[in-house]
């Protein structure tokens, strides 16, 4: 039972881990990313659509590129047009929600999903992306916390003017961080359509993007923290699904709705309990960079 | 007048651009300009009345039915749009309209079904219950913001999912589930009494109900409040510059809370209009992201109550007309794409303002 549970976490968690780790990159650089949901959707759709005409691993790369492309749009709006970052992110979610439906209908004449594709091959019983999701949080954490690039990235999210004074191009650094963030969200989406299932379905990613944002906040904006929170949330999900089949009696006592609400409620409780001013959110988060300010 | 025009320009330009882009998309993907033109015309007649048929001698139903559907959709968009816009005016981003709408809808469904009262009193009570539930649900983020410094974007996103999970995966399928004759039970709450339903306005010809009147009334009241009352002025001052407002003696924290309460009440009312006007009970799932549509309406309407009303009437129409595009192989959700794209373009407000400064230079030289 426990082993089966762990197995299902290994399948379900990677999408959330990629998206949550990606979200930290964008936000540590000072750009709010509530468009993760839309970027994941782009990745899931593009990967499945591409895998119909090319090998699935290449399709996954197309999914990554699609997420990055959507993120580039977000970055252009936030950084160059100085739009409200939350507005831009929500707009991206709404556009991708409708665009996915439209393209499904236009390209595949089906409102519900793409035709099936060949799933990613399995290594040791799981998709290669699962193993990537095990390694990646450490790599990103190391890059953000231990390299000169990471130091600049974090500084740009705290006090961009200071970084600019050092001669670093603030806008380029932020743009890169947002695009990387979108690429990872796209990878998460691609994992849904090429490894968890074998097609894109219209409901994807069904709120996982918002859960990734919750995981990022819960993990206090650190890549490892976000990945840990994502794992925890995914474990909770897997537990709920396995309980539904193995111990349906328990769900009479603890309704499914409670378990579904738990990750979000927990994140809220943590936020509400932390002392005022102890938030780990980057100081310049959400503020467009204005080189005129000092 | 010139200033009003300049303020509306980014929205109008965004809507026009979005319509053009989507037109080209249909033309490219669905085989030619003619198909696109037919599809867009079908959407227009489906939105604002089938005038060609009417002038060919069809009954007035060909006008009233589409207009009724449009107005029904527009009522929901207006109320959620006002909800987001009102919070925006004090500088808060209420992403939680969806959650507030869900609890408001549930409150309306429960009061509408469980209580027995004379017609007007029952409807009023149901509406008040929905507004109260929505307001209470928005109180949490407001207090968290005021006393714990928790950003409202994060807290309202979390509360959306909490509301949807608890209502649709527990209450509506569990304790509040309607049990019909015998053991046959259906997901969703019990049917509301007729005394709680929003009255239909034009009989059986169309589903048009009094929800649109409520929405227009809310828009006008909010506009008057923001433009003619001291309290409304304070909200706008706080939204423009909270530090300056605080320094001039305004109570910023209290205004955050009161604006969020109004915002939540409006989203709750939207839920009531959905239940008491069209659904007649809380269904197994509400499905559509009405609260997120509200964000689109608030921003396309530039945060102005009458702007929100105008953009809701337009997009309510397009979305009602969208079903007619099915005949041309375009999914009925296509108007949502037009709406999303328009929102994305509105987000680039600064770009439009720079452009409009060239087209309509401000008085006294550029």
User: What ipTM goes with this model?
Assistant: 0.85
Answer whether A76's CB lies under 8 Å from B325's CB. Answer: no
Predicted TM-score (pTM) of the model is: 0.90
pLDDT digits (tens, 9 = 90+) for A17-40: 999 999 999 999 999 999 999 999
Report in angstroms the alpha-carbon separations of A285 from A21, A275, B4: 17, 19, 32
The mean of the pLDDT values for chain B is 86
**B 105-144 residues with CB < 8 A to A:** 144
> DSSP class of residue B196?
G
Q: pLDDT band at B8, cuts 50/70/90? A: confident
Question: A10 vs A191, which has greater pLDDT?
Answer: A191
How distant is the Cα of A32 from the closest Cα of chain B, in angstroms?
10
Nearest in space to B78 (alpha carbons), one of B313, B344, B304: B313
Sign of CA dihedral A131, A133, A138, A139: positive
pLDDT digits (tens, 9 = 90+) for A38-63: 999 999 999 999 999 999 899 999 99
In this prediction, residue A251 carries a pLDDT of 65
Given a cut of 50, whether residue B366 has pLDDT beyond it is no
Place of tokens 């009061």: B111
Q: Shortest CB distance from B161 goes to which of A91, A264, A277?
A: A264
Which one is the CATH code of A2-273: 1.10.150, 1.20.120, 1.10.3470, 3.30.2320? 1.10.3470
Q: pLDDT band at B182, cuts 50/70/90? A: low
Q: How far is CA A221 from the centre of its chain?
A: 13
The mean of the pLDDT values for chain A is 87
**B 287-306 residues with CB < 8 A to A:** 289, 292-293, 295-296, 299
**B 216-255 residues with CB < 8 A to A:** none
Given a cut of 70, whether residue B185 has pLDDT beyond it is no
Supply the CATH classification number for the domain B2-359.
Answer: 1.10.3470
Place of tokens 């090429």: A194
Angle at A14 between CA A10 and CA A18, to 5 degrees: 160
With beta carbons under 8 A apart, name residues in chain B contacting A217. Answer: 154
pLDDT digits (tens, 9 = 90+) for A240-293: 777 777 776 766 667 778 888 888 888 888 888 877 666 678 888 888 887 776
With beta carbons under 8 A apart, name residues in chain A contacting B155. Answer: 268, 271
* Alpha-carbon gap, residue B126 to B349, rounded angstroms: 39
Q: How many helical (H) and strand (E) elements, i.e. helices and strands, does chain A have?
A: 12, 0
Query: In chain B, what is the greatest distance between 2 CA atoms, to the nearest angstrom?
Result: 77
Answer whether A31's CB lies under 8 Å from A174's CB. Answer: yes
Closest alpha carbon within chain B to A277 = B149
* Alpha-carbon gap, residue B366 to B362, rounded angstroms: 6
Q: pLDDT band at B7, cuts 50/70/90? A: confident
In this prediction, residue A279 carries a pLDDT of 66
Contact B155 A111 (CB under 8 A): no
In this prediction, residue B194 carries a pLDDT of 81
| Of the candidate ranges A109-118, A189-198, B1-10, the one whose mean pLDDT is the lowest | B1-10
Q: pLDDT band at B171, cuts 50/70/90? A: confident
Strand (E) or helix (H) holding B186: strand B185-186
């Amino acid at each position: 039972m426990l082993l089966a549970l762990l197995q299902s976490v290994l399948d379900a968690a990677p999408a959330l881990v990629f998206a949550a780790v990606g979200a930290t990159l964008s936000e540590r650089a000072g750009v709010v990313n509530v468009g993760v949901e839309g970027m994941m959707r782009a990745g899931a759709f593009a990967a499945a659509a591409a895998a119909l005409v090319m090998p699935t691993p290449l399709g996954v790369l197309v999914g990554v590129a699609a997420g990055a492309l959507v993120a580039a749009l977000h970055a252009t709006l936030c950084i160059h047009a100085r739009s409200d970052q939350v507005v831009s992110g929500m707009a991206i979610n709404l556009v991708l929600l409708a665009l996915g439906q439209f393209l499904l209908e236009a390209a595949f004449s089906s409102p519900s999903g793409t035709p099936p594709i060949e799933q990613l091959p399995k290594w040791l019983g799981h998709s290669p992306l699962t193993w990537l999701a095990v390694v990646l949080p450490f790599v990103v954490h190391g890059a953000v916390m231990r390299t000169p690039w990471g130091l600049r990235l974090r500084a740009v999210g705290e006090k961009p003017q200071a970084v600019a004074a050092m001669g670093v191009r603030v806008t380029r650094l932020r743009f890169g961080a947002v695009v990387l963030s979108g690429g990872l969200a796209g990878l998460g989406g691609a994992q849904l359509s090429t490894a968890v299932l074998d097609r894109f379905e219209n409901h994807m990613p069904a709120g996982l993007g918002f859960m990734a944002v919750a995981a990022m906040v819960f993990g206090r904006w650190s890549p490892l923290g976000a990945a840990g929170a994502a794992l925890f949330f995914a474990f909770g999900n897997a537990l709920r699904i396995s309980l539904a089949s193995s111990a349906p009696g328990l769900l009479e006592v603890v309704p499914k709705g409670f378990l579904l609400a738990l990750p979000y409620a927990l994140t809220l409780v943590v936020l509400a309990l932390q002392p005022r001013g102890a938030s780990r959110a980057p100081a310049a988060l959400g503020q467009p960079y204005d080189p005129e300010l000092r | 007048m010139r200033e009003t025009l300049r303020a509306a320009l980014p929205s109008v330009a965004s809507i026009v651009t979005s319509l053009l882009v989507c037109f080209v998309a249909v033309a490219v993907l669905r085989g030619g300009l003619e198909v696109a033109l037919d599809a867009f015309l079908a959407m227009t007649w489906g939105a604002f009345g089938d005038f060609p048929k009417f002038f060919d001698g069809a009954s007035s139903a060909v006008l009233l039915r589409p207009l009724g559907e449009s107005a029904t959709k527009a009522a929901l968009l207006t109320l959620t749009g006002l909800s987001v816009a009102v919070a925006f005016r004090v500088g808060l981003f209420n992403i939680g309209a969806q959650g507030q709408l869900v609890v408001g809808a549930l409150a309306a469904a429960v009061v509408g079904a469980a209580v027995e009262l004379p017609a007007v009193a029952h409807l009023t009570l149901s509406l008040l219950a929905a507004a109260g539930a929505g307001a209470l649900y928005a109180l949490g983020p407001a207090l968290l913001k005021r006393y714990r410094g928790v950003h409202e974007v994060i807290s309202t996103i979390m509360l959306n999912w909490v509301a949807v999970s608890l209502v649709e995966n527990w209450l509506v399928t569990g304790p509040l589930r309607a049990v019909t004759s015998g053991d046959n039970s259906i997901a969703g709450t019990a049917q509301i009494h007729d005394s709680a339903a929003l009255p239909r306005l034009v009989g059986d010809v169309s589903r048009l109900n009094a929800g649109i009147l409520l929405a227009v009334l809310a828009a006008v009241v909010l506009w008057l409040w923001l433009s003619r009352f001291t309290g409304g002025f304070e909200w706008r001052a706080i939204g423009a510059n909270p530090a300056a407002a605080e320094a001039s003696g305004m109570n910023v924290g209290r205004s955050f809370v009161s604006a969020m309460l109004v915002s939540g009440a409006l989203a709750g009312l939207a839920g009531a209009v959905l239940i008491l006007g069209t659904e007649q009970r809380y269904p197994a799932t509400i499905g559509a992201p009405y609260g997120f549509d509200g964000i689109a309406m608030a921003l396309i309407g530039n945060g102005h109550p009458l702007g929100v009303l105008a953009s809701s009437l337009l997009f309510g129409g397009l979305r009602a007309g969208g079903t007619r595009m099915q005949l041309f192989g375009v999914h009925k959700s296509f108007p949502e794409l037009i709406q999303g794209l328009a929102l994305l373009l509105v987000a680039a407000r600064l770009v439009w303002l720079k452009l409009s400064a060239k087209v309509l230079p401000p008085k006294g030289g550029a």
